[in-house]
Amino acid sequence: MSKALVSRDNLVRLTASEAREALTAGDVTSADLVGAYIARIGARDAEVGAWTHFDAERALAAARESDAKRARGEAMPPLAGIPVGVKDVVDTKDFPTELGSEVFAGRQPSQDAFVVTALKAAGAIIPGKTVTTELAFFGPGKTRNPHDLERTPGGSSSGSAAAVADDQVALALGTQTAGSVIRPASYCGVIGFKPTFGYTSRTGVLAQSPPLDTIGGYARSVEDIALLFDCISDYDANDSDMTDEAKPSLLAALKSSELHAPRFAFVKTPAWPQGDDGMRATFEQFASRFGIAEVPLPPEFDEILRLQQIVQFSDIARNYGPIADANPDRVSAKLKEIIAEGRTFSEANYAAARKKQTALYDALRPILATCDAILTPASQGVAPIGLGSTGSPMFNGLWTYLEMPCISLPLLDIGGLPVGVQLVGARGDDARLLRAAAWMMEKRS
């Protein structure tokens, strides 16, 4: 990469892969890169509010240490010298992890989450923690949408999505239990990826609904998503939902000589009627432009949105109920409302909803056999005006419930605001999903 392409003015706009190339070539130092991000955050943080904790001095010290290792000729890991934002539900021993709740103000973990340990082993610099909604649910934080400060950035991974969208960091971690990665990606106009359930460890991460909770991430290129998840997805025996099966390299899959034009199936989920008129019209035009035919879901999918809620809300009642009971004046009314609803579901309701996860996925297999990825909306439309809510996860929760990998691509624009295109893959076929996503990003023009 030419030094002319890595001037101080555009350092913050480099993808992580481009930054890695520039660092390797000696065209830029990590201190230069981190310094540019610090300046960007200093100029924008008061308006966007993506960070709940940020330590410029610590980040610069880590950058200089990385540069010194490179200068000594040491072998450099894949993310050496590159900053990565971490959502404030993921434990960090260097920063408080306050879970977006005043109940946990000042909470300081004694050790890093598994994925943070993996990031550090990969050479990444952790400059701070990004804003989450209250306990990664609906109660909004301070973050605003960089495209329109009067609109929500989505939730619950609000700060991570906004930070990447606003060129404050090239990579960031999020989590998803319903739509907490994909929806903010759609609203903020970045790439958001939620892998197959169990793909990445959740040890040291807030547990909301363990059968659904998944680590996700944000970037500005599909290649960066592959780079990030290749670094953080090693097996962790302490997370019982992971398997020790070897994972193929996502980066290698993207670079495979066997890449071909993917097959897609356009699916309108039970949430489709609740989408904005503009989104539905724009989405249908997009599918038509690519020649992607609509494929109907089987009728048993009519209840899937409620089934996901039964699992999530029951677990919220179980895991967050004691917190709310002990701190009734320090949790939101919305959270208390959902806890109350979750307590209305019996163990039999919960068990039945869990059992149907497998049955409904099996009912989807005939569609998956005909395509490389499902094409479906990432959100109901553009980010809603107002900061009192974070929008609806109705277009995402069913895929999380089915444990399937999903990615939102910033391919649509309505009235000058971004709307994501969601691609959904078969369980365990994350590499094929990313290949389909990379192809669509290349063909977008």
Question: Which positions are annotated as active-site residues?
Answer: 87, 156, 180
What is the β-pairing status of strands 373-377 and 417-424?
Answer: antiparallel
Gap between the Cα atoms of 382 and 412, Å rounded: 10
Residue environment code for 217-248, b if the CB has 16+ CB neighbours within 10 A, otherwise e: bbbbbbbbbbbbbbbbbbebeebeebeeeebe
In the numeric block, the tokens 């002319």 are attached to 4
In terms of Cα–Cα distance, which of 112, 93, 138, 98 is closest to 201?
112
CA 118 to chain centre: 17
Gap between the Cα atoms of 133 and 245, Å rounded: 33
In terms of Cα–Cα distance, which of 148, 154, 147 is closest to 133?
154
In the numeric block, the tokens 């970045």 are attached to 190
Gap between the Cα atoms of 63 and 123, Å rounded: 10
What is the β-pairing status of strands 128-130 and 264-266?
Answer: unpaired
In terms of Cα–Cα distance, which of 307, 147, 327, 276 is closest to 212?
307
Gap between the Cα atoms of 242 and 238, Å rounded: 9
DSSP 171-233: EEEEEESSSTTHHHHHHHTSEEEE-STTSS--TTB--S-TTT-EEEEEESSHHHHHHHHHHH-
Residue 314 has what DSSP assignment? H
Asked if residues 135 and 101 have their Cβ atoms less than 8 Å apart, the reply is yes
In terms of Cα–Cα distance, which of 420, 127, 433 is closest to 282?
420
What one-letter code names the amino acid at 348?
A
Six-digit token string for 444: 């977008």
Break the chain down into helix, strand, coil percent, rounded to 5.
Answer: 45, 15, 45
Gap between the Cα atoms of 222 and 271, Å rounded: 27
What 3-state DSSP class applies to 170?
A: coil
Gap between the Cα atoms of 79 and 294, Å rounded: 40
